[in-house]
Each structure stands twice: as C-alpha cells, then as structure tokens.
Structure 1
Amino acid sequence: MGKILLLGDRYTVSLFRMMGAEGKVVEDPYSLEDEIKNVRKMEDVDLVLITKDLYDPVRERLESVISSQTKPLITVIPSPYSEAEPMDVRKLILRALGFG
C-alpha cells in the first residue's frame, strides 16, 4: 500500500504526521501547482490530501489538474482554518475507482 501525503498548513501537517502520514507545509497557495507536479513523480504516494484553505485561492487553476489525475488520487480536506462542507463520499469512491 502506498503512502498518504498531506499538503497544508503547519498545524494540520503536524496532526497528520502524528497519525503516521507524511506531510509538507505549503505557505503559498500559488506554489501548490508546482508541489503537485513534484508529488506526481513520487511512485510510492497513492493519496494526496490538500487543505481547503490552501486550495481555495487557486481552485480554478488546479481543478483540471486534479480532476484528470488518477495516481496519486488528489482530494481536498477541510482544515481548522476553513469552513467544512459535507463530503460527497459516493463521488469520491467513484473517482477512486476511475469512474468520476
């Protein structure tokens, strides 16, 4: 099984590291696209989580990159600094299986 990598703020990355996941602190949302390109080269990463507060400012630039990505699977999660919205779990599962 591959690794989980979180791209986000210091607090959220620290929490995920305590749970055994890898994480990288990203201060500037506009560097997120470059970070995703670097992660694509990592063969052992299967899931990339991006905090919502980091993703929102660059949503339009990254939507096509993320939606076309099959491995690693990239998804956005809420952070303590963002408003949480209900997740469409069915949509996430279909996307993970290659149908979305």
Structure 2
Amino acid sequence: MGKILLLGDRYTVSLFKMMGTEGEVIEDPFNLEKELDTIKKREDVDLVLITRDIYEPVREKVDGIIGNITKPLVTIIPSPFSESKPIDVKKMVLKALGFG
C-alpha cells in the first residue's frame, strides 16, 4: 500500500502528520510545480493532497502537470485558510479509476 503525501501550509501539514501522513510544507506556491515533478518520480506515493490555498495561485501552471500524472492520484483539498466547497466524491472516484 502506497503513501499519502500532503503538500500545503505549515498548520495543515502538522495536522496530517499527527495522523501519520507524510507532508511537505510549501511556503511559496510557485515551488509547487517543482515539488510535483519530484513527487511523480516516487514509486512509494499513491495519493497527493494539495491544499487549495497553495494550489489556487498557480492553478494554470500546475493543471497540465496534474492532468498528465497517472500515478500518484493528485487531488485538491480545502485548508483552514481557504473557502471550502462541496467535494464531488463520485467525480473523484471516476477520475481515480481513469474515467474522469
């Protein structure tokens, strides 16, 4: 079973680490593209969670990378500092199965 890796702010990464999830603090959202390039080469990671506040400023730059990654699955999650929206679980599952 592969690992879950969180990329986000210091607070959210700390919370996820308390639950046993690996995490990387991203201070500057413009480093997200480089971090994703590194992570997609790792065989031990199956799921990458990115906090919305880190993702939004560089959405246009990283959407192409995220769209071309087959493993790990990359998804955006809300953080305490971002506005939350309902998550479409059906869409996420279909994407994970290769239908989305």
- The alpha-carbon deviation at position 70 of structure 1 amounts to 1.3
1:81-100 CA-to-partner distances (Å, cap 9, x unmatched) read 00001111111000000111
Paired position in structure 2 for 1:83: 83
- The alpha-carbon deviation at position 68 of structure 1 amounts to 2.2
Paired position in structure 1 for 2:42: 42
Does the alignment pair 1:31 with 2:49? no
1:49-86 CA-to-partner distances (Å, cap 9, x unmatched) read 00000000001111121122110000000000000011
Measured in 1, the distance between the counterparts of 2:69 and 2:99 equals 12
Q: Among all aligned residue pairs of Structure 1 and Structure 2, give the percentage whose two residues are the same amino acid.
A: 66
Paired position in structure 2 for 1:53: 53
Does the alignment pair 1:64 with 2:70? no
Measured in 1, the distance between the counterparts of 2:80 and 2:74 equals 19
- The CA RMSD measured in Å over matched residues stands at 0.6
Measured in 2, the distance between the counterparts of 1:38 and 1:61 equals 16
Unpaired segments ≥5 residues, structure 1: none
> What letter matches 1:93 in structure 2?
V
Measured in 1, the distance between the counterparts of 2:87 and 2:68 equals 19
Using structure 1 for the length normalisation, give the TM-score.
Answer: 0.97
Runs of 4+ in 1 over 3 A off after TM superposition: none
